Structure 1
Amino acid sequence: MSFSLDELSSLVDFSQSSLTIALLAIAFNPTAWNIVAQNEYRNKTITRIFGGNSRYGCYFLAVMIFSFGILRDSLYHRALEGQPIKAILPEPFATIVPVALFIIGQTFVVTSTWALGVTGTFLGDYFGILMDHRVEGFPFNVLRDPMYVGSTMCFAAGALWYERPAGLLITIYVYIVYVIALRFEGPFTDMIYTKRAEERAKGSKKEI
């Protein structure tokens, strides 16, 4: 155990404030957007700010999520700069693996956004902007949550590219944060669409 602790302390500098800030930013994003979105579904707070226009409200939230995502990534890279450097993979894998991870990860993120559109990507269903049907094409035919998986892969790519073992620890943390966020986001989104389906079914019975 003492060896493991000594080894860990030589690979990760926990005294760096940039590391703490990055971890807080990583946890803040999915947590905050889940809270804001669920409040929007129940109380229409953002929609009311935009004069009852739910689409404008969703676009506003999209800008906020995207902006804070860029800030989070910037803080992550700043945290890596303050961490010890140690070769993680031998060449040529030290170059090939992170590049492949980044390309695949970005492919998942970009194609997810393309398939879902702005409102589908940035929690439009919480604003009452629901999709007509479940997206089943790529990348959703490969992964259930390709955007979160792709983002995690990009964090790992950064850690390997800059040869910061601390980055791999942060990547594990990112994965855990996303798993927790999905436990709240997934069931709530399913509830929204289930409720829509029930309302449509009731409407069909009335027409008959």
Structure 2
Amino acid sequence: MASSLSGIIDFSKPSLHACIAAIAFNPTAWNIVARNEYRNKTVTRIFGGNARYGCYFLALCIFSAGIVRDSLYHRALLEQPKLKLLPEPLDTLLPAALFILGQTFVITSTWALGITGTFLGDYFGILMDHRVEGFPFNVLRDPMYVGSTMSFAATALWYERPAGLIITAYVYIVYLIALQFEGPFTDMIYSKRESAKAESKKEL
């Protein structure tokens, strides 16, 4: 198995190790920070009790870490073996279309959710009034993660790096694992709010 992969991925490159570490670090770190925030309000306390400022700070951290991760991915790709993956003109048309579609999912989901909805505002107690059901959430359950994965794949195809497709599969697995933690926890937060509302109505 290792010998068959040696022609398409160079495991000796430090840039590959840094990229793999960054991909795993980002969702892991933010889940840990967000859960701590929900239970202990650590970030909110740093900002004098202002949950919104705390959420904006976390959003900036997440966005910055994403840029670093993408930069590491780009650098890792350029140091990996190159191999023709698609015939012309698909070698440019397909990755371009995939990237545009992926970024469309990412940007429109961010627009629909807003800053606090996108960047874990519910862990800060900043809850949305209702579930977003318009595009792209009427097409995909997790458009941001899917769109990001599509962009990783598009970049690998554009630079003709088979290693990038392997990294993309790894990205998707990391996202799936992260969703196993994020989804149920977020559902619990909103469920508790609905229960609190129901109790308030009973008291009235």
TM-score (norm 2): 0.99
Is 2:81 the partner of 1:84? yes
Q: What is the rounded CA distance, in whole Å, between the counterparts of 1:42 and 1:164 in structure 2?
A: 43
Q: Which of 30, 45, 48 is the matching residue for 1:48?
A: 45
> For residue 126 of structure 2, what is the aligned residue in structure 1?
129
Is 2:82 the partner of 1:58? no
Q: The residue matched to 1:137 in structure 2 has which SS?
A: coil
User: Which consecutive residues of structure 1, in runs of 5 or more, have no partner in the other structure?
Assistant: none
Q: The residue matched to 2:170 in structure 1 has which SS?
A: helix
> For residue 68 of structure 1, what is the aligned residue in structure 2?
65
Is 2:149 the partner of 1:161? no
Q: What is the rounded CA distance, in whole Å, between the counterparts of 2:26 and 2:122 in structure 1?
A: 18
Identical aligned pairs, as a percentage? 75
Structure 1 residue 169 displacement after superposition: 0.3
What's the CA shift string for 1:83-104, capped at 9, x where partnerless? 0000011111111110011000
Q: The residue matched to 2:11 in structure 1 has which SS?
A: coil
> For residue 189 of structure 1, what is the aligned residue in structure 2?
186
Paired residues in the alignment total 204
Q: What is the rounded CA distance, in whole Å, between the counterparts of 1:6 and 1:16 in structure 2?
A: 16
Q: The residue matched to 2:102 in structure 1 has which SS?
A: helix
Structure 1 residue 39 displacement after superposition: 0.3
Q: Which of 106, 110, 125 is the matching residue for 1:109?
A: 106
Output the amino acid matched with 1:47.
Answer: T
Is 2:14 the partner of 1:17? yes
Q: What is the rounded CA distance, in whole Å, between the counterparts of 2:5 and 2:72 in structure 1?
A: 22
What's the CA shift string for 1:24-66, capped at 9, x where partnerless? 0000000000000000000000000000000000000000000
Give RMSD over aligned pairs.
Answer: 0.6
Q: What is the rounded CA distance, in whole Å, between the counterparts of 2:23 and 2:96 in structure 1?
A: 22
User: Which consecutive residues of structure 2, in runs of 5 or more, have no partner in the other structure?
Assistant: none
Give the ranges of 4+ consecutive aligned residues of structure 1 lying more than 4 Å apart after TM superposition. Answer: none
Structure 1 residue 18 displacement after superposition: 0.3
Q: What is the rounded CA distance, in whole Å, between the counterparts of 1:84 and 1:27 in structure 2?
A: 23
Is 2:110 the partner of 1:118? no
Output the amino acid matched with 2:61.
Answer: M
Q: What is the rounded CA distance, in whole Å, between the counterparts of 1:101 and 1:14 in structure 2?
A: 27
TM-score (norm 1): 0.97
Output the amino acid matched with 2:186.
Answer: T
